[in-house]
Structure 1
């Protein structure tokens, strides 16, 4: 997070209000969303769309983002997919001839990437639960083998003629290889793939190019993904200047000067989450009618998607409906019943895993609808009770929760504790979450799973300041005073604290407006609490 993003932390007075106003204005002014760039996605665009403006800048970005050990990614557990993508992209660039002045840089980075992959020993069973991961690993492992075959003897000349002899990539999971073959056969036949698969259409390889069963959205995207869109165009195709897919790719590449994010547009996702976070914290908001209206499709049968090209999901639907309720627009969340599965809710139909945070957001939505409605149908109260029990059963022994959509337990714990707070049957679970947070605070006042971050500190502070049934009020206030000081100090420092990518997609990413909303909310809560303010 840059200095201006958190500069308000160093100011006194009405904390958060003007910053929230700027944030809301940004939601309207940047309707596709504000998402950090992705090594994985950028690598795919380098390999599949070398004609796209900003190509050299993408290559420079990939080589600059490489770690000292030759891998890519913010953490070892999440390094395989971005390392495969970047390495394959650089090999593709060598095969067709790197831009002038970049050849040695590309060759060196490719060789280091190959060595890092060859040395990797992480088992797939321990891998994070990322969308389409097993398919992506199988697809890219195969693609790297093909690139090395294309390079032939030149592959031995990488990095000054040494360092890649004996390279052997760990084989992909057999189930992933089998699924990949079935997907490609279906694409060649013209079958319509599951909507969630279009977000990772690039795994189809050549079968993805012009796939008859896949339709371009009006915004020019396939699956809200630059990689999937480039794959659908085909590596041998250069579309005309007016082609919708080309306009989409040019737009997303232009946002960051060449590198691209992993998902865009994320219109409803970003707006729903940011507005709900600010409103729940009591930040005074003036929301333009157009922003409120953009959330209303969540009430339609089947719910709403995060953005065009993505399947509708229970997470975006519930958060959008919750935001509407907090903004004074209450609609019956009947759309959520499409995602009901026994005693919990799925993110989308056919989901192979389960998500605690999705169910926490559904619970928020159910509570908001039932509040003050004596005539609310009984099925909502029944579902809320079942989901609450389901969440309590998934609380870890230390009091935290984890989730498949975020790398940090602080995010999942925030979602679950706030959703359960106020329920008599869940008071013990909320207290255990608070005890865990109090014990996990770092020496500098921050919270974080890998290192202290503004995002995770904001999540912890929201639990400590919003959970009214948590007890130990004095300890909570002391911890939040230290957290507030961390945010104030880092926000006032030149450059500000970083905003690490911690959200799960094909690659880790950070939805920057959503994170800024979380920090703004935490600071507003801390500033309005006299006890916290007096301690800082």
Structure 2
């Protein structure tokens, strides 16, 4: 997925989204009592009651729905007609309803982004709820966020935010007694985690999160400034930090890029669009920075933190009213906490629809929803969200989804991302993405198979991408990628692209190795996962095994059976971790639910199959009125 990445001075960042509030959850103002329930990190309130969603007449929301009817195959072998599956049909109706009810997209709250709003926008509605959320999200060991190095960014942000709130006197607004002591204890725990485990030469390696080489040095500097300011008279509970030295940076990070970006802003030169997603790292100079203005719904860089940094204090200046409206809307979505990026309409719809249609899930798609996706594709592709540049990842998945749903577009916009070796997510990308190139192979491969079978340029590029993906497979059979913490996501993207559109023997061998790796990784309860079994990662593993085809090795059917039981047992479970990469880990709820729905459909349809029925090799769909 084309999200903001690490950025250097002079380069042109990447993504997340708002979540619909859980029905019946109380929302309070900053002076009122604490909210009854705030979303946990990685948790997303559902868009509506499940039964209500399944009964929702989608055609009344966005016009008459369209469904996918498969063409009869002219090739030997079974006709690709998905069996009637009431559960899959209900899943599809529910997901389409979610996309229409919450058009900006659904994403989990971010500790990082919420912490930045606590520091930058105490005037914004639900300020108290944001502080309460940070206090509740702290782990027993004092850190915030995910495992290993994934705790670094959220712990820095939350610690700095609560230290700001403590020094600013925000404890007076918090409910209950001893609020200042609670803030001080949380700050102390965060500092102990940072100094003890998350920074310095023995710290875990920082993950490849977008803009991490900007966010971490910026926050380390802010924490150091706070500690210097209170050194002579530390607040109660923080006396132990009176003589603390500078907070060290973890291995592999320094302040070089941050200094370069800040110098670029100070020079008054226009900022690259890619940088705007992390504008908050600039500091006070971000306020009304030259050449920066809100776009679309009032956002800067599709980021609440970047928008708040640009806005500063609300006033009557150009663009201020739109920025305030955007921030207030995002803050109200989850009753205070905010996601890393919003809105993610195109990202959510493209990923969910392509996943479901690839798996053969009967899919009622409102025509206006499809028309909205078509309208986003321009000469250079489509961006993930307003305020971000167009990128090859979002463009490829959008083109693939539209093609599968009967609205094919010429994929010519993708050629601008061709480096000659692989496809960059956008020009100047620092590194390369396996999943972006897998998605480009999907888009080109589908167009080649169904619309331009004699196109020599498409034949050549699909062969080149096949080789590039195979070369980047790790020796044990997995792939990893910069846009997701789990190798199961990257592996599923690569396998589905190679099994559906790969050319030459390298594709088959790579798929076989991936299947063996997935088989070896199944847990005793039938799940798969990097750190522990999750529904999301199990869904990706199931998709890999279903792509194995008729020559699947022994054990695939049994593994799929165990996976099916796990998915059925864990359906609807809350507390799934955030695994997607932005400035902080996030969980795009509808996209994850679509992956799970697709996997459930595939395992209900039965393991095995022929090449004609592999998820990547479906026949072109016809669109019919529902």
TM-score interval, normalised by the smaller of the two chains: over 0.9
**Correspondent of 2:373 among 295, 298, 305:** 295
Match of 2:522 in 1: 441
Cα offset for 1:150?
3.0
Q: In 1, Cα distance between the equivalents of 2:601 and 2:538?
A: 14
Measured against aligned partners, the alpha-carbon deviations of 1:313-338 in whole angstroms (never above 9, x if no partner) come to 10100000000111011221000011
Q: How does 1:447-526 map to 2 (within 5 A)?
A: 447-468=528-549, 471-472=552-553, 475-491=555-571, 496-526=573-603
Q: Does 1:177 align with 2:255?
A: yes
TM-score normalised over the length of structure 1? 0.92
Q: Contact conserved, 1:137 with 1:172, CA < 8 A, in 2?
A: no
More helix by share: 1
Q: In 2, Cα distance between the equivalents of 1:253 and 1:374?
A: 47
Q: In 1, Cα distance between the equivalents of 2:563 and 2:266?
A: 55
Measured against aligned partners, the alpha-carbon deviations of 1:214-272 in whole angstroms (never above 9, x if no partner) come to 121031100110110010012x5567998111111111111111000001111111100
State the 4+ residue runs in structure 1 displaced beyond 4 angstroms. 1-8, 121-125, 172-176, 236-242
Give secondary structure in 2 for the equivalent of 1:309.
coil
Q: In 1, Cα distance between the equivalents of 2:160 and 2:333?
A: 24
Q: In 2, Cα distance between the equivalents of 1:174 and 1:439?
A: 32
**Correspondent of 1:332 among 404, 410, 419:** 410
Q: In 2, Cα distance between the equivalents of 1:469 and 1:345?
A: 31
Q: How does 1:310-459 map to 2 (within 5 A)?
A: 310-422=388-500, 423=502, 424-425=504-505, 426-459=507-540
Say if 1:455 and 1:174 are closer, same or farther in 2 by CA, change over 3 A: closer
Match of 1:107 in 2: 184
Q: Contact conserved, 2:483 with 2:581, CA < 8 A, in 1?
A: yes
Measured against aligned partners, the alpha-carbon deviations of 1:202-223 in whole angstroms (never above 9, x if no partner) come to 0110110110211210311001
Q: In 1, Cα distance between the equivalents of 2:336 and 2:355?
A: 31
Measured against aligned partners, the alpha-carbon deviations of 1:34-63 in whole angstroms (never above 9, x if no partner) come to 000000000000000001111111111111
Match of 1:217 in 2: 295
Q: In 1, Cα distance between the equivalents of 2:294 and 2:251?
A: 31
Match of 2:141 in 1: 69
Say if 1:374 and 1:81 are closer, same or farther in 2 by CA, change over 3 A: closer
Match of 2:622 in 1: none
Give secondary structure in 1 for the equivalent of 2:442.
helix
Give secondary structure in 1 for the equivalent of 2:255.
helix
Q: How does 1:126-205 map to 2 (within 5 A)?
A: 126-155=205-234, 157-159=236-238, 161-162=239-240, 165-166=243-244, 168-171=246-249, 176-205=254-283
Q: Contact conserved, 1:156 with 1:164, CA < 8 A, in 2?
A: no
Cα offset for 1:3?
11
Q: Contact conserved, 1:134 with 1:172, CA < 8 A, in 2?
A: no
Match of 2:72 in 1: none
Say if 1:374 and 1:244 are closer, same or farther in 2 by CA, change over 3 A: closer
Measured against aligned partners, the alpha-carbon deviations of 1:89-109 in whole angstroms (never above 9, x if no partner) come to 111111110232421111110
Q: In 2, Cα distance between the equivalents of 1:171 and 1:376?
A: 54
Q: Contact conserved, 2:137 with 2:144, CA < 8 A, in 1?
A: yes
Say if 1:416 and 1:259 are closer, same or farther in 2 by CA, change over 3 A: same
**Correspondent of 2:114 among 42, 60, 71:** 42
Say if 1:79 and 1:137 are closer, same or farther in 2 by CA, change over 3 A: same
Measured against aligned partners, the alpha-carbon deviations of 1:127-146 in whole angstroms (never above 9, x if no partner) come to 21111101111111111112
Q: In 2, Cα distance between the equivalents of 1:413 and 1:13?
A: 27
Measured against aligned partners, the alpha-carbon deviations of 1:343-397 in whole angstroms (never above 9, x if no partner) come to 2101111111111000000001111101133555311111111111000001111
Q: Contact conserved, 1:324 with 1:330, CA < 8 A, in 2?
A: yes
Say if 1:95 and 1:238 are closer, same or farther in 2 by CA, change over 3 A: farther
Say if 1:125 and 1:450 are closer, same or farther in 2 by CA, change over 3 A: closer
Match of 2:194 in 1: 117
Cα offset for 1:70?
1.1
Q: In 2, Cα distance between the equivalents of 1:246 and 1:82?
A: 24
Q: Any gaps of 5 or more consecutive residues in structure 2?
A: 1-42, 55-83, 610-626
Cα offset for 1:165?
4.5
Q: In 1, Cα distance between the equivalents of 2:453 and 2:147?
A: 50
Say if 1:346 and 1:412 are closer, same or farther in 2 by CA, change over 3 A: same
Give secondary structure in 1 for the equivalent of 2:390.
coil
Cα offset for 1:173?
7.5
Q: Contact conserved, 1:156 with 1:165, CA < 8 A, in 2?
A: no
Say if 1:109 and 1:154 are closer, same or farther in 2 by CA, change over 3 A: farther
Q: In 2, Cα distance between the equivalents of 1:116 and 1:38?
A: 19
Say if 1:135 and 1:470 are closer, same or farther in 2 by CA, change over 3 A: farther
Measured against aligned partners, the alpha-carbon deviations of 1:141-200 in whole angstroms (never above 9, x if no partner) come to 1111122233343436335x4466435411477974232222222223332211111000
Q: In 1, Cα distance between the equivalents of 2:416 and 2:348?
A: 22
Q: In 1, Cα distance between the equivalents of 2:248 and 2:164?
A: 20
